[in-house]
Structure 1
């Protein structure tokens, strides 16, 4: 598990990418270029097992043949994943891409209704589940009429065939058959993200968009060919899939894959594996900064972290106590990965999103940004407005949702729904969210979804969820509740009622009773008025102890 004792000198990002043969901007060609350059170099490390680039490519090829020939997965088909981080997710993504099919990963903490909505909407033909989520996967397969096949990604006492077993049984039958059919414009991933309508939207990303994002991350973090990228963020997020997995492979380094983030073992694991770079959300960085110092391992080799938003305390602890010299603050969305970040060599401006972050190759068009008012006019320098983006890594649209896709664009520019401004140096500064989305522990939570779910409680007349500041950065969820005349329920009862309907990260920390939910002229909850009520949080019930 130990990494090499020393690192090479710094190579410019474009020179890193030019170490590998030209490719066709498919995931297959992207990986093949790295395999051709160094087949025996470590590509992936997981729980003590290391796969070389040649071995990773071999598993992907085997999986692609099995999917195409045994499971009859065709170009344009979709396969769902419901699992904590596991190498099978990486293999499946590249194998499906080779066929021209699409991977649809979802949060393994989803309750049945949440997962069913995603996979039913995505029209998956198969599901790959961890042992812990097989019961949910089986229920989804039944609900979808039995046409959906189910496999486990690990053995256990579950009675469901595993991927390894299935592929091994089919190895001889389909050996040597070619299944390559994926093109650069084909959809490689559909990532479901919380929407303002209360239902998740599936952001589609092409092979080309994935590859460009991965290569751009080499520039954003100046990743080197001997990099060991530690992935603790979940593989149903763009950050983990494109920045960690894609970035590690783009520079020709090694992906150090971790099942899930653990603060208590973070530094020990980093030291044991020789990790050199890691991506974190603000909550994870804040937790690490507050953990007992006895857990810190001075021998780690992490020299850079990609993390946002940052606080002065987090930066101080990471740099001066944990000896991580570079912390890169950034901005991103599922729909527009790899657009804005603080420059690697500085200046770093704490609390800012950063500057436009281009691909290392000047031949690739750089992202563009505008800040506009409600009428779509560019605001004056220093003024606040909505951020609009154009970028080569832009999603292809929302799957099976032309109305939401159309609503997300203004004359070819993607409307982020975020209010920002530029400071005197041109750095973008986040001001507020225009959309009804709460950012909690690295997850987007739809306020409209919580309004709908809690509004279905028999005692509730109406509910409205808002984001309030969190101690660890980002936001916590506060739910304002208006009860029906003559009815009531305490906060603990409401929380217990919602547990079977919502993933843990969507459960509110605070619940406050109000006489009436304020409304806009169109009779939507006037959440800006709730946010402006300074007494609301003070009189809310804090359910943090009950929700652990």
Structure 2
């Protein structure tokens, strides 16, 4: 589609429109769009001097900062495919990425141990080259790979095209109502799509400023937001819960933030508590690396609590995104209000997983992306998350979604958050186990929470096991890492099927919670 731009066109346009206006502030300095664009063109020259050509893979092992942006843009303008690795990753992970992609060049800081057969280069060395012209290309050309966990334990690489990036960069400002006067703040890692496509490219293309933090720090977050003049920030996973668990401070209301884009949707009362305490609008959305054109709750409408929103559209191209709820693995729509798999169709879909044709074919069928997420839709077109297809728990011949149990537990006034998984059952199939994190200063025992669930859930959805935790194992994007929660029996859990003294559980104040 000629209406979809490449990153070369997009980046040139931003540099031409706002050449001298400060754009990005990070730990390693501040730069305008024109400066970053020129540095990216220097990186093109540096990469070509190393023999990198269009279609080659280049691994980036860099922290959040201007150097990451320079190298990332430089790869895109070269026509190369960048593959970002968390700089905290173990050497073995870097080796698996290099092996999996066949990359010959690694852009990193000095003294980074890289696999044999690869060339280590710093961003400073790339920028020492003369600027070079960008490569020709199309919006369908791959621009980067985003890592995801694969079924074999090896990394799975999701292909992100130039068009996916530019369509998202053009759409995000309209979804949040961003203008040139806004200041976007993000602490999310640039090795993931959220910080790349939403905050970085979204701010670049609408004239807004970007504040790029090295990482999320709850202890300094509000002071940083205040001092940088941030007006919008992105949160994901447990970030808002971590902030909400801290003691109140004047700084949490001294900021200029008017909106926070976040996922997943909290339950109604928690949503309202967050907005009232911190003084901003909480805008809930849904996106994934396979398609950043997911769902969004309109920022100019009253919130629909618990909703992931309606299909995101493009401000210039109009309605380009469709969403359906179907029987998992099919294209057969379920009845309104029923739970099914969410599928998407739009021009910002991934072409697939690098080197994995079977997995690609499993999620891309007849032009639709099968997300693997369960949802339901109400009469007004609002979508509500109902779990993961792969997380479905099979219990006593019934299928249940962990999200159905989590929303009930999270509604308890003493509960901060919960995670529900299926664990092996002595009667075959699975049993339901709930992990619960309490709010600071509040307490509840297992019997109380068990009764709470019994009053609100049918018998087959009620947890058999319940365990309190002191904090969550988290992914890079601050989501609960359910795969790290124990499947085996533990001495501190409560088994509601037992008739011994463990059944009632012990009241555990939040300050004494166990760490999983």
Give TM class, smaller chain.
0.7 to 0.9
Distance 2:384 2:239 in 1: 22
Deviations 1:257-310 (A, max 9, x none): 000000110010011111111110131001111212126343311111001222
1:214 and 1:250 in contact (8 A); partners too: yes
Mean CA deviation greater in 246-255 or 103-112 = 103-112
2:33 and 2:204 in contact (8 A); partners too: no
For 1:147, the equivalent position in structure 2 comes to: 117
Query: What SS class does the counterpart of residue 308 from structure 2 fall into?
Result: coil
Gaps of 5+ in 1: 1-21, 152-161, 439-465, 483-497, 515-532
Mean CA deviation greater in 48-57 or 213-222 = 48-57
| Inter-CA distance 321–419: structure 2 relative to 1 (3 Å threshold) | closer
| Inter-CA distance 87–237: structure 2 relative to 1 (3 Å threshold) | same
Q: CA RMSD in A?
A: 3.4
| TM-score, normalised relative to structure 1 | 0.72
Is the counterpart of residue 399 in structure 1 residue 354 in structure 2?
Answer: yes
Choose the corresponding residue for 2:57, options 55, 78, 87.
78
Is the counterpart of residue 40 in structure 1 residue 20 in structure 2?
Answer: yes
For 2:126, the equivalent position in structure 1 comes to: 167
Distance 1:343 1:62 in 2: 40
Gaps of 5+ in 2: 394-401, 427-472
For 2:74, the equivalent position in structure 1 comes to: 95
For 2:34, the equivalent position in structure 1 comes to: 54
Is the counterpart of residue 200 in structure 1 residue 155 in structure 2?
Answer: yes
Query: What SS class does the counterpart of residue 328 from structure 1 fall into?
Result: strand
Instruction: Please state how far the C-alpha of 1:120 moved relative to its aligned partner.
Output: 1.7
Query: What SS class does the counterpart of residue 512 from structure 1 fall into?
Result: coil
Instruction: Please state how far the C-alpha of 1:370 moved relative to its aligned partner.
Output: 1.5
Distance 2:54 2:389 in 1: 37
Aligned residues: 434
For 1:258, the equivalent position in structure 2 comes to: 213
Distance 1:334 1:234 in 2: 14
Query: What SS class does the counterpart of residue 104 from structure 1 fall into?
Result: strand
| Inter-CA distance 436–84: structure 2 relative to 1 (3 Å threshold) | farther
Instruction: Please state how far the C-alpha of 1:191 moved relative to its aligned partner.
Output: 0.4
| Inter-CA distance 99–57: structure 2 relative to 1 (3 Å threshold) | same
Instruction: Please state how far the C-alpha of 1:473 moved relative to its aligned partner.
Output: 4.5
- Written as runs of structure 1 = structure 2, the 5 A alignment for 1:325-364 is 326-361=281-316, 363-364=317-318
Choose the corresponding residue for 1:513, options 469, 477, 489.
489
Instruction: Please state how far the C-alpha of 1:510 moved relative to its aligned partner.
Output: 3.6
Distance 2:118 2:370 in 1: 36
1:265 and 1:295 in contact (8 A); partners too: no
Instruction: Please state how far the C-alpha of 1:313 moved relative to its aligned partner.
Output: 4.8
For 2:98, the equivalent position in structure 1 comes to: 119
Distance 2:310 2:503 in 1: 37
Distance 1:322 1:213 in 2: 28
Instruction: Please state how far the C-alpha of 1:331 moved relative to its aligned partner.
Output: 1.2
Instruction: Please state how far the C-alpha of 1:388 moved relative to its aligned partner.
Output: 1.3
For 2:320, the equivalent position in structure 1 comes to: 366
1:229 and 1:277 in contact (8 A); partners too: yes
Choose the corresponding residue for 2:334, options 356, 363, 379.
379
For 2:438, the equivalent position in structure 1 comes to: none
1:233 and 1:239 in contact (8 A); partners too: yes
Query: What SS class does the counterpart of residue 407 from structure 1 fall into?
Result: helix
